[in-house]
Chain A
């Protein structure tokens, strides 16, 4: 920077301005975080504390919500309850306090596993296909390159509901409806536009001279790609992978329309957790909390690349 006193005030606003800015931004952040914190706290409340009015900030902390999320329970007669051996784990104890016994596991874990399998499967496929295509678009003379790139982007403009109808029909014919493979292919086709655009941006930044140098040293073009370009593109590939993961993990519209049982992911499942007296809010909150954990971790990991990811690389930070 120059030595101008005025310039300094531009680059670095006065302490008072900074303090006001900080105050407003922090206030907004805190307000925005309240719903999230509330849901995390609700997961540790008893059903009666969760629906208490005025709302209870903290109740008696309990794992009942998590137990109700993971298990199904049946109500039993007091005579039956009296004859049972002592409770062995937390969920047993909690249920017995309410005159119930644990009958078996709930559907949450299989749904969560579906989310994991579909998210990681489609991410792997998107990244592999996306990396290859992005490299070709970045390095070679491809006929109609701009049109192809725009075409890939425009697949993102379709409302999911609009393609859901024929995909539903097509999957029914092919036996892919309500299967993990079907959802993996579908999410890959949605994610591929992002993967190609983002990765092309990252590849464009790797100097071509690296490959040229490798080829001078006797590598073929393919060897140069695998041994020189790919390692250089690791950061970009990881960032892209996390974006694809987050999308597939969060997706709801296709999941709710095209899956009903075996391949259902967690997002359509969480809203339908119903307890005895209607919506079991602590269990819903517990399910939500567990579902949010990977997202929070990824957000922190991704923060440097967030802007690129959400704008398809159209804007770089």
Chain B
């Protein structure tokens, strides 16, 4: 990590002279003052741009406020917004679409990402270079990704349709990935998988590299088959890392907005209308600010709650 040689002399001297505690109190600002001085700006910024808006959202969620009519009288409507959201079939439909999307994209990314990590861990020649290349998609802007996949998915001119039709023999213009009901959700899953499999792969790779060699050596001595080694050593020991990847991807996928907005905008019909898209429509197109604030709070509580339950499960696996 850091280069320590240049300072080793200093350290040696320090060890010889005084106990550090004495020195620490000696001069300048007190530690407590420095701690507060250093932490306060960050906290102020977070209070101003995260906590204050959050409290404001909670406040608005109990009103019928509309941001495009700042002068209209604002009524306190109590829990009415929450009630109408939880009984709205469209909201439940959006939640179902979101859940299905989270499930399939994470399942595919995890299987694919883990397999790739497991293969890269064989340390073939040039694996570093190929790993770096595979990591590129996840570093890109979702806006750019959504945009150029729109191009690839064009039924008349797109590369994607051309490749699939060349492989299957179906005419390329017979399927429209972004505009046909059974295909559109999969079009988004494909892009999400393309972009985020590297993420899962990288975390799984760290998990595989954390398994000490001596465990495999012991298994070899015991004549355990490679199959047995995989199921009894590799997978269980990498599991906490796989679960961590699923956690991070789950939170992100639940919030997913960018790519859906660019690829399908929620359509066709409402087959790809995930929760964030509904929220955006309510907040910035219909301008039902109070209603959408309540929806935002429900979403946040859901993500936060699910994440917390999941972290508990993760810790149990880790400590097993």
Contacts and interface: CB of A to CB of B under 8 A. Distances in A.
A159 B276 contact: yes
Among A7, A35, A281, which residue has the most Cβ atoms of chain B within 10 A? A35
B255 A159 contact: yes
B178 to A, nearest CB: 13
Contacts of A299: 132, 135-136, 139
B130 A161 contact: no
B134 A28 contact: yes
Given A10-B216, A220-B29, A168 B67 contact: yes
A111 B49 CA distance: 24
B1 A188 contact: no
Contacts of B128: 303
Nearest to A152: B46
Interface stretch (A59-67, A77-85, A93-101, A126-134): A126-134
A169 interface: yes
Given A18-B123, A25-B119, A169 B299 contact: no
A152 B42 contact: yes
A205 B3 CA distance: 11
A198 B121 CA distance: 25
A222 B29 contact: yes
Contacts, number: 344
A121 interface: no
B206 A221 contact: no
A38 B159 contact: yes
B24 interface: yes
A164 interface: yes
A103 interface: no
A228 to B, nearest CB: 7
A142 B35 contact: yes
B192 to A, nearest CB: 13
Among B17, B49, B141, which residue has the most Cβ atoms of chain A within 10 A? B141
A35 B148 contact: yes
Given A216-B23, A257-B280, A159 B262 contact: no
A22 B7 contact: no
Report the contact-size class of chain A (Cβ under 8 Å from the partner): 35 or more
A252 B206 contact: no
A89 to B, nearest CB: 28
Nearest to B51: A155
Contact of B42 (A9, A185, A192, A225): A192
A29 B133 contact: yes
A220 B31 CA distance: 11
Report the contact-size class of chain B (Cβ under 8 Å from the partner): 35 or more
A104 interface: no
Contacts of B289: 165, 169
A257 B23 CA distance: 52
A9 B314 CA distance: 32
B265 to A, nearest CB: 11
Contacts of B241: 315
Classify the interface of chain B: helix, strand, loop or mixed.
helix
B38 A311 contact: no
Nearest to B202: A307
Given A25-B127, A155-B46, A159-B299, A35 B139 contact: no
A38 B152 contact: yes
A105 B81 CA distance: 48
Given A54-B162, A185-B45, A6 B28 contact: no
Contact of A140 (B10, B34, B116, B304): B34
Contacts of A215: 20, 23-24, 26-27
Interface in B9-27: 10-11, 13-15, 17-18, 20, 23-24, 26-27
A35 B248 contact: no
A169 B70 CA distance: 10
B124 A21 contact: yes
Contacts of B45: 129, 185, 188-189, 192
Contacts of A220: 27-29
B303 A6 contact: no
Contacts of B50: 155, 158, 163, 189
B283 interface: yes
B156 A221 contact: no
Interface in A1-37: 1-2, 4, 6-7, 9-13, 17-19, 21-22, 24-26, 28-29, 32-36
Contacts of A218: 27
Given A165-B57, A284-B147, A18 B217 contact: no
Given A285-B148, A295-B136, 5 more contacts: A35-B194, A51-B154, A206-B2, A215-B26, A271-B262
The 9 A-B residue pairs with the shortest CB-CB distance in the complex, in nearest-first order: A220-B28, A213-B14, A162-B296, A212-B20, A250-B141, A267-B143, A189-B49, A166-B53, A252-B143
